[in-house]
Chain A
Amino acid sequence: MINGGKNMLLAGVGGQGILLASEIICKVMMTAGYDVKKSEVHGMAQRGGSVTSHVRYGKKVFSPIARKGDIDILISFEKLETLRYLDYLKSNGMVIINDAELYPPSVNLGDATYPEDIPETVRKYFEIVKIVNASDIAVRAGNIRTVNTAILGVLSAYLDTIEAGIWESVIRTSFPEKVIKENIAAFNLGRKA
């Protein structure tokens, strides 16, 4: 924990809405009065590649990226990507895993196999592991493209110092008018999941 804040790492696959999700977290923390920084790398046809976003908030934040072993919460949008960044977590860190599988090229081609029982592997190292089916939540919220907001809902339940109202107000300003309702619904379903 840095100055009363947290280090988070969002991980997943290009196109899953990770950058928007980390943007929303940052704006929530800003609204709550924290200093905040986030960092990711874009370019070079990231579509389909592994994507991460570091988010750090606290009284004063220097580095926009956390070092390995210093992440409080790993938020993984895809199961395999959870494994790739496990070494970033603190020993008492928590993991939120979206129960989604997206095959990398080597698996598609049959040259590699997609690891089995990823949640079990993660549980060997960490006590607090939350598995969530965000696609299912998104469908229930009325729009499959609200997966990232559903995951933010799950995360929000673990950040009890931040009022739900702040999340909602930031979400309202982060999406086009016509999809706000579904995103708020996905957030609330995620929060209760």
Chain B
Amino acid sequence: MKVAFPYLGYDTIALKKFVELLGAESCLGPPLTARTLSLGTKYSPELICLPFKITLGNFIEALEAGADTLLMAAGARKCRFGYYHYLQENILKKIDNRHCFYAISQYTPYEFFFKKMPQIFGVTPQKVIYATWLLLHYSALIDYFRKLIRLTRAYNFYDAQKKELEALRIIENVSSFKEVQKAKKELRKIFSPIINTSNEIIRIGLVGEIYLMLEPFANYEIEKELGKLGVLVVSKRSLYRHLKHLLKLDLFDLRTISNAYKYLKDSPGGEAIKTVGEAHIFAKKNIDGIIHIYPFTCMPENIAYEALQKLARDYEIPILSISIDEHTSKTGLLTRLEAFVEVVKRKKFKG
């Protein structure tokens, strides 16, 4: 069984290990490129949002590479994301009919542990629970790694590039709970020499839609580009937090929602409430600016956009909202980022 799932930035490593732990081989296809996007766009409906197009292109390329089982997250609620799999299943069936497509609902943990996963992989529920527990630790490790690399990039970008490869090699070799702890120590050792804490750096909070925030291909490597400009990116979104949120283990959730309440009295679906809540926390914590990224025509994030405009006026904090689709050019995006960083810098150091 060759299993494919959409790429998810650095967290792909954790998901890959999860699948391999369940006794399947992972076959994700080549890394995401312009070809992935154009393939996805070709088969997608006209008005759909960007994550649909990228994940669809991703699946097509995985099928070309020989995958026979496709896994897609699901869970129909207010956001369009929960409905992706109905259309993708139909479209992929027309392209190649020798594969199995499984939609895995995010909001039914019981079904996930005891029915769906055991049925797909032919393993016992205990094994699934154990694998999920390890997945949580792997993703925590990657979350930690992302925190370190963001900090390093802000101070010494080219050094960070070198150390990133080294760190990723360590993470890829992890295969048990004990090794996760060991890898954490090693990561700290690798990144420690270049971490110094001076105040002469600007901090920009990154909020938005989760897929765009996690997958560097989808957000045109915005974190890296900001790091190149000497900005420390602060972000609360990761696969680790999302898993914790789904398993109802995340205490930070409550804080986010209570902070969002001033602007959104009810969740409009998706991650809008988190976007607004996190932005509010950032604004209170004196973060210098906020960048909000979301797919073009994303419904919940558009509501969040309106809330963020109000928040920007209330706290006098610069907010840049970037909606991304397949026509976004990287050069245009970079110009906007540079201008925004200049604005933030001028505001911070004007005295």
To the question of whether A and B form a pair in one complex, the answer is: no
Which residues from chain A sit less than 8 Å from chain B, CB to CB?
none
